[in-house]
Amino acid sequence: MEKNNEIYHDQEIGRKLKELRTEKKLSMRTVGEKLGINYTYISKIENGYIPSVKLLKDICEIYDIELKDLFGESKPVPKELREVGVEWITFAKEMQEQELTPDKIKEYIDIIKRFKDV
């Protein structure tokens, strides 16, 4: 991050934001409209200008990521996975390690249901 006339620039954050916007297939104009700001400001941000934390949070909300995902080497966790939770993700990994496919698990559930109905 470089300081230039009291304005902070961070090319990495700008690059990540541009990547996220293009992955979501959003134009700068669309993002600007959602935020209530001029789209040229989105361009400035993507070129490294650091906006307020509030605006960064609002941008992250549009891109379905958390603010912390912009910093460091972490990759954003999709919203759907965040909602599932660690316990279910761990369970799915354990089932995969046991070579249990989703279809096989559904089959076992059906068997258990039949036994319960007897």
- Whether residues 70 and 32 share a domain: the answer is yes
Per-residue pLDDT at 117: 76
With 0-12 / 13-18 / 19 or more C-beta atoms within 10 angstroms meaning exposed / middle / buried, residue 41 is middle
Number of independent structural domains in the chain: 2
Cα–Cα dist 35/58, whole Å: 7
- Whether residues 6 and 60 share a domain: the answer is yes
Domain holding 35: CATH number? 1.10.260.40
* Mean predicted lDDT score pLDDT of the chain: 85
Per-residue pLDDT at 45: 94
Q: List the domain range (segments joined by +) for residue 92.
A: 85-117
- Whether residues 62 and 32 share a domain: the answer is yes
Per-residue pLDDT at 87: 79
- Whether residues 45 and 91 share a domain: the answer is no
Give per-residue pLDDT as tens, 32-87. Answer: 999 999 999 999 999 999 899 999 999 999 998 888 888 876 666 666 776 777 77
- Whether residues 71 and 94 share a domain: the answer is no
Per-residue pLDDT at 6: 45
Per-residue pLDDT at 76: 64
